[in-house]
């Protein structure tokens, strides 16, 4: 470690990213123990890959990849975290190993497509479709090579039974992303998506990001005393989304002094 940075507290954004990565890894593991039977298919819905899709949507490509890599690493060291309670390096080089490695490609593709876009159902659905295409292409190719089977047999074993469940998972992930992702991005501005450069005179107008301004973003730009007074921890407690409401007096002062000043995150200000 660089001596100049030693003993420096980690940034709030990196701590938050670390905890969310761990949370989604835990959710993926829990998802592999939960299955929901559906009437239209004999194969129940396992929620592990559903949580991997959500992980990519919420955390983006970088942290989503870290979360899935941690999940695979835990399985590799012997914890029974893979679907059906499997564990160990033998699973990674077994017939289903292609699907496990394919998760890495899936999470990167979904995260890269959706990270800077609004989570509308067409965008999310397209991203999930692309990610799952990569997953199944990789998994089925691996299965074909491993079993030395023809393509038809590999597709029949590795894709067809899962299609009804997959369609339901994609639809549910789209609904959840549309409902939860905007608020999640507001709460974690600057962590999983770029910081907004909001024009305070017109808070609706944003450049370069889909994130909305947070309470500190607005207040720290308008009132220096506020930003100096708040501690890092306290600012995170208060980092709830500001639904385009700024205190009247601070809005007035901002209009008077720095109308066109782009804001930065409160964490930087503090």
Partner 1 sequence: MIPLSYQSKPSALHKRDPRCKLAALLLLSIAAGVAHHWWQLGILATVAFMSLFAARLPFKQLAQSLWFFGVIIVAVIVSYALTFGGPALFSFGNVSVSAEGFEAGLKFGAKLLIIIAICSAITAATSPSDLGGAVTWFLHPLPFVPAARIGTAINLTLVFIPMSFTCYTEVHAAARSRCIDLQKNPIRRITFLVRPVLEVLFLRVERMATAMEARCYNDDRVLPVYHAADADIALVVLSIGLLALALL
Residues near partner 1, by CB under 8 A: 1, 6-10, 12, 15-16, 18-23, 25-27, 29-30, 33-34, 36, 38-39, 45, 47, 50, 54, 66, 70, 73-74, 76-80, 84-91, 94, 168-169, 171-172, 175-176, 179-180, 184, 187, 232-233, 236-237
Q: How far is the CB of 29 from partner 1 (least distance, A)?
A: 6
Parallel, antiparallel or unpaired: strands 35-36 and 45-46: antiparallel
Q: How far is the CB of 32 from partner 1 (least distance, A)?
A: 10
Q: Which lies closer to partner 1 via its Cβ, residue 233 or residue 256?
A: 233
Burial class (CB in 10 A: 0-12, 13-18, 19+), 67: buried
List the one residue out of 183, 218, 181 whose CA is nearest residue 202: 218
Q: Which lies closer to partner 1 via its Cβ, residue 237 or residue 256?
A: 237
Separation of alpha carbons 163 and 165, rounded Å: 5
Q: How far is the CB of 238 from partner 1 (least distance, A)?
A: 10
Q: Which lies closer to partner 1 via its Cβ, residue 137 or residue 167?
A: 167
HEC string of 202-256 equals CCCCCCCCCCCCEHHHHHHHHCHHHHHHCCHHHHHHCCCECCCCCCHHHHHHHHH
Q: Which lies closer to partner 1 via its Cβ, residue 85 or residue 208?
A: 85
Q: How far is the CB of 251 from partner 1 (least distance, A)?
A: 27
């Amino acid at each position: 470690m660089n001596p100049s940075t030693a003993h420096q507290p980690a940034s709030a954004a990196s701590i938050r990213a670390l905890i969310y990565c761990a949370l989604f890894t835990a959710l993926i593991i829990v998802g592999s123990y939960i299955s929901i039977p559906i009437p239209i298919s004999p194969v129940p819905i396992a929620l592990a890959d559903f949580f991997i899709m959500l992980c990519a949507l919420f955390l983006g490509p970088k942290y989503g990849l870290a979360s899935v890599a941690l999940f695979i690493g835990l399985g590799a060291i012997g914890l029974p975290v893979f679907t059906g309670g499997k564990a160990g390096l033998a699973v990674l080089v077994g017939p289903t190993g292609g699907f496990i490695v394919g998760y890495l490609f899936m999470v990167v593709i979904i995260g890269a497509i959706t990270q800077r876009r609004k989570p509308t159902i067409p965008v999310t659905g397209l991203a999930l479709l692309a990610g799952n295409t990569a997953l199944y292409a990789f998994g089925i190719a691996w299965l074909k090579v491993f079993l030395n089977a023809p393509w038809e047999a590999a597709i029949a074993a590795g894709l067809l039974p899962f299609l009804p469940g997959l369609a339901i998972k994609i639809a549910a992930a789209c609904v959840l992303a549309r409902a939860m992702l905007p608020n999640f991005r507001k709460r974690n501005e600057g962590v999983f998506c770029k910081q907004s450069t909001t024009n305070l005179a017109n808070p609706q107008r944003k450049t370069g990001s889909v994130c909305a301004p947070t309470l500190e973003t607005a207040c720290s730009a308008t009132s220096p005393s506020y930003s100096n007074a708040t501690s890092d921890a306290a600012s995170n407690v208060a980092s709830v989304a500001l639904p385009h409401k700024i205190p009247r007096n601070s809005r007035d002062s901002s209009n008077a002094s720095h109308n066109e000043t782009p804001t930065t995150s409160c964490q930087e200000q503090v």
